[in-house]
């Protein structure tokens, strides 16, 4: 039965048109596990977006909880470091409580003195993903891909 389903999907025209394209060979997955909901968040910035309905907002700040896969996103005209800190306080800490870990890439707006002070103030462990390896923060990158499809 499984082979019949696989053959049907391979021959289905709509499945071929709308399916995600896999450009890389499959590799072993190493899941990041969070011990409870809203304890580990991944944060990233999507930009520059070219949408006519964006009202001048050209960047989207995206955060995803690694346990529940809940996504928080907000659009901004620019994303300086104080915007990131305000987003974390307002949209993560005030809504879901203090996270134990935050994972970001090495962007200057996500990895700076204000962010370090915020993490020290609230005793949050801040991790940086490996440069030039977006798979490290894969949950956020997957959410980014879905948001880009919607836009």
CATH class of residue range 32-150: alpha beta
Listed in sequence order, the residues at least 6 apart from 66 whose beta carbon sits closer than 8 Å to its beta carbon are 32, 33, 34, 40, 41, 42, 139
Percentage of the chain lying above the pLDDT 90 cut? 27
The pLDDT confidence band at residue 122, using thresholds 50, 70 and 90, is very high
pLDDT in tens, 16-54: 777 776 666 666 655 666 778 888 998 888 888 776 666
What would the two tokens of residue 45 be?
């910035």
Q: Residue 64 forms beta bridges with which residues? A: 42, 71
- Annotated domain spans of the chain: 32-150
């Amino acid at each position: 039965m499984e082979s019949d389903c696989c053959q049907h999907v391979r021959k289905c025209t709509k499945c071929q048109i709308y399916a995600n394209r896999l450009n890389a060979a499959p590799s072993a997955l190493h899941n990041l596990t969070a011990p409870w909901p809203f304890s580990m968040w991944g944060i990233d910035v999507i930009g520059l977006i070219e949408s006519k309905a964006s009202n001048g907002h050209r960047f989207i700040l995206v955060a995803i909880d690694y346990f529940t896969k809940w996504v928080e996103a907000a659009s901004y005209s620019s994303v300086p470091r104080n915007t990131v800190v305000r987003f974390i306080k307002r949209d993560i800490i005030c809504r879901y409580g203090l996270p134990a870990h935050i994972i970001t890439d090495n962007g200057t707006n996500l990895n700076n003195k204000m962010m370090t002070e915020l993490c020290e103030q609230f005793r949050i462990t801040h991790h940086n993903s490996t440069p030039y390896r977006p798979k490290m923060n894969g949950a956020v990158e997957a959410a980014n891909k879905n948001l880009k499809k919607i836009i």
